[in-house]
């Protein structure tokens, strides 16, 4: 992010894997696969919006644009029909909603936000998550054609600029290639727009109680 970002994104997926997906971890080990591939498979079977389930991704408070260290995470709308796949997909969608919130905040103050979104890091390995991002943001999403070079490549560029080995930051365009864009689906984009509105309202509705819970979590008993 160049102007702000959420406190959690990939951390949500890792927390879910470590705390709620022990079976998938063991099965992936047996099959020689990545556990996230199995979790993505579960989430892909769930329709957008997770049948009325919305997650608040504030598992570490929230940075831009809420700047609220006492915000807390939640799943809202749970029923007995929801499954592990619903819970995981809701987290992926929540991370996308948080990014949309930050993008809209940037647009409101006149920051020049591009027409496309470039995603790097662990998120970029999930085709499902990239598709969700495109639909929620309403913008084409690309990633680097070569995996695992996003942040290290940027670090190398900064070193090159600082030492004079690179004379123009635009030179990075010669170093990388991008995937074809994942474009938003109009129907899913419209549906996510309605869910996003509820996502925004849920924080406002629950903020005081989330803060109260944050306070209670600091109390100790003998």
33: left (phi over 0), alpha (psi -120 to 50) or beta: beta
User: What domain range includes position 25?
Assistant: 10-144+179-206
**Cα(126)–Cα(182) distance, rounded to whole angstroms?**
12
Of 46-50, 111-115, 145-149, least confident by mean pLDDT is 145-149
Q: What is the mean pLDDT of the chain?
A: 92
**Cα(58)–Cα(154) distance, rounded to whole angstroms?**
27
Q: Is residue 216 part of a domain?
A: no
Tell me the pLDDT tens digit for each residue of 55-114: 999 999 999 899 999 999 999 999 999 999 999 999 999 999 999 999 999 999 998 888
Predicted pLDDT at 3: 58
Mean pLDDT of 212-218: 95
Q: How confident is the model at residue 9 (pLDDT cuts 50, 70, 90)?
A: confident
Q: Is residue 94 part of a domain?
A: yes
- Checking if the pLDDT of 136 tops 90, the result is yes
Q: What is the tally of structural domains in the chain?
A: 1
If one compares 183 and 176, the residue with the highest pLDDT of the two is: 183
Predicted pLDDT at 23: 98
**Cα(96)–Cα(155) distance, rounded to whole angstroms?**
25
Mean pLDDT of 170-188: 86
Taking alpha carbons only, the member of 4, 46, 26, 56 closest to residue 206 is 56
**Cα(27)–Cα(24) distance, rounded to whole angstroms?**
5
Q: Is residue 161 part of a domain?
A: no
Mean pLDDT of 111-139: 91
Of 5-14, 16-25, 83-92, 162-171, least confident by mean pLDDT is 162-171
Task: Find out whether 7 and 62 touch, Cβ atoms under 8 Å.
Answer: yes
Q: Is residue 5 part of a domain?
A: no
Count CA within 13 A, CB hemisphere, residue 39: 28
Q: Which residues of 140-152 are buried (b: 16+ CB within 10 A; e: fewer)?
A: bbbbbeeeeebee
CB neighbourhood size of 156 (10 A)? 15
Predicted pLDDT at 4: 67
Predicted pLDDT at 200: 98
Q: Is residue 82 part of a domain?
A: yes
Predicted pLDDT at 32: 98
- Checking if the pLDDT of 29 tops 90, the result is yes
CB neighbourhood size of 111 (10 A)? 12
Q: Is residue 73 part of a domain?
A: yes
SS (H, E, C) the chain: CCCCCCCCCHHHHHHHHHHHCHHHHHHHHHHCCCHHHHHHHHHHCCCCCCCCCEEECCECEECCCCCECCCCCEEECCCCCCCHHHHHHHHHHHHHHHHHHHHHHHHHCCCCCCCCEEECCHHHHCHHHHHHHHHHHCCCEEEECCCCCHHHHHHHHHHHHHHCCCCCHHHHHHCCCECCCECCCHHHHHHHHHHHHHHHHHHHHHHHHHHHHHHHCCCCCC
Q: Is residue 59 part of a domain?
A: yes
CATH number, domain containing residue 190: 3.30.420.40
Residue listed under structure tokens 């080990």: 29
Q: Is residue 153 part of a domain?
A: no
């Amino acid at each position: 992010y160049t102007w702000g970002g959420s406190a959690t994104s990939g951390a949500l997926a890792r927390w879910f894997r470590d705390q709620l997906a022990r079976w998938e971890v063991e099965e992936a080990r047996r099959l020689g696969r990545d556990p996230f591939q199995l979790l993505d498979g579960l989430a892909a079977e769930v329709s957008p919006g997770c049948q009325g389930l919305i997650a608040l991704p504030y598992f570490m408070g929230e940075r831009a644009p809420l700047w609220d260290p006492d915000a807390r995470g939640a799943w809202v709308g749970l029923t007995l029909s929801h499954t592990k796949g619903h819970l995981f997909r809701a987290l992926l969608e929540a991370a996308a909603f948080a990014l949309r919130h930050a993008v809209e905040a940037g647009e409101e103050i006149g920051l020049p936000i591009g027409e496309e979104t470039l995603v790097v890091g662990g998120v970029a390995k999930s085709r499902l998550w990239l598709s969700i991002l495109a639909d929620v943001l309403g913008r084409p999403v690309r990633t680097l054609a070569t995996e695992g070079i996003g942040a290290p490549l940027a670090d190398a560029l900064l070193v090159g600029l600082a030492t004079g080995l690179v004379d123009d930051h635009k030179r990075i365009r010669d170093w990388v290639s991008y995937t074809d864009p994942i474009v938003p689906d109009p129907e899913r984009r419209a549906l996510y727009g309605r869910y996003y509105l509820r996502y925004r309202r849920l924080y406002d509705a629950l903020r005081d109680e989330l803060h109260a819970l944050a306070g209670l979590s600091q109390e100790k008993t003998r």
